[in-house]
Chain A
Amino acid sequence: MFCSQCGSENKDQARFCRECGSPLRASQAASPSPKPTSPRPSGTSLGSFSPGQIRWCSPSLFGLVLVGFLLPFADLSCAGEHVVTLTGTNLALGTRPAYPSDAAGGVPDDASSRCGLATLAVACAVIGLILGIRAGGASTRGQALCAALGTLLLFGLSSFWKARSVKAVRA
């Protein structure tokens, strides 16, 4: 039978459309199959969301990730005392806010230097966002790879900082 909402073909015993999730009525099996008036976009649908709404999920997620890089990302502390709060862009680009004068002497210059893992994670998010806006079958695979690589890079960033304990003598 064919779905009356999106026109895709489904098995006769199916209760819901495999493409758009709309309920399929038994009466549709006997009725002539309606043809879709416009080509359906690639990808799948989720429940009551239309393919058009699903299409913007991935770019929205990558946009959210980029917003996350602008928010307070990490607290830098020295000997248990909070020194400064860094954003993701501080880590990715190597820029840093000014240290408090009483802490500056105890914090090594490279404590908040550019972290390649953060830079690559930002690059993954930007590439994923661009691929998401330019929709297509190949770009979906690219977005999946970018997101997976970015996740691994952030896990790596966490592990890197756990391993990197710099002893500094406070001035």
Chain B
Amino acid sequence: MIALTFRFGYWLTLLGLLAGALFNGWQVLSVRRG
């Protein structure tokens, strides 16, 4: 049985993208609200 266990790089990548989505989403909403 082949299995893949995610390590540090995966979680760093996931958190970075999640933070990027939240940060840029907040920026877009802030500019829209003026």
User: A165: which of B1, B10, B26 is its contact (CB, 8 Å)?
Assistant: B1
**Could you say which residues of chain B place their CB within 8 Å of the CB of A168?**
1-2
CB-CB contacts below 8 Å: B2-34 with A: 2-10, 12-14, 16-21, 23-28, 30-31
Q: Please report which residues of chain A, range 103-139, place their CB below 8 angstroms from some CB of chain B when the two chains form the complex.
A: 107-108, 111, 121, 124-125, 128, 137
Task: Provide 10 A-B residue pairs closer than 8 Å at the C-beta atoms, listed in order of the A residue.
Answer: A43-B27, A61-B23, A64-B16, A65-B12, A71-B7, A72-B7, A75-B7, A147-B24, A150-B20, A151-B14
- How many angstroms from the CA of A76 to the CA of B16 in the assembled complex? 23
B residues neighboring A (CB under 8 Å): 1-10, 12-14, 16-21, 23-28, 30-31
A88 and B12 CA atoms in complex are apart in Å by: 11
Smallest Cβ-Cβ distance to A122: which chain B residue? B13
Chain B interface helix/strand/loop/mixed: helix
Chain A interface, >50% SS class: helix
Residues on A with C-beta less than 8 A from B24 are 58, 140-141, 143-144, 147
Does the CB pair B9–A124 fall under 8 Å?
no
- CB contacts (< 8 Å) of B28 on chain A: these are 140-141, 144
Contacting B3 at CB < 8 Å: which of A88, A121, A165?
Answer: A165
Give the contact-size bracket for chain A.
35 or more
Residues A73 and B27 in contact in the complex (CB < 8 Å), given A65-B13, A65-B16, A151-B14: no
Which residue of A43, A140, A158, A166 contacts B6 across the interface (Cβ within 8 Å)?
A158
Give the CA-CA distance A72 to B16 in the complex, in Å.
16
Q: Which residue in chain A gives the minimum CB-CB distance to B20?
A: A147
Q: Is the CB of B18 within 8 A of A147?
A: yes
Decide if A73 touches B6 in the complex (CB within 8 Å): yes
Q: Closest approach, in angstroms, between the C-beta of B30 and any C-beta of chain A? A: 4
> Per-residue CB proximity of A53-89 to B under 8 Å, as 1/0?
0000110011011011111111111111000011110
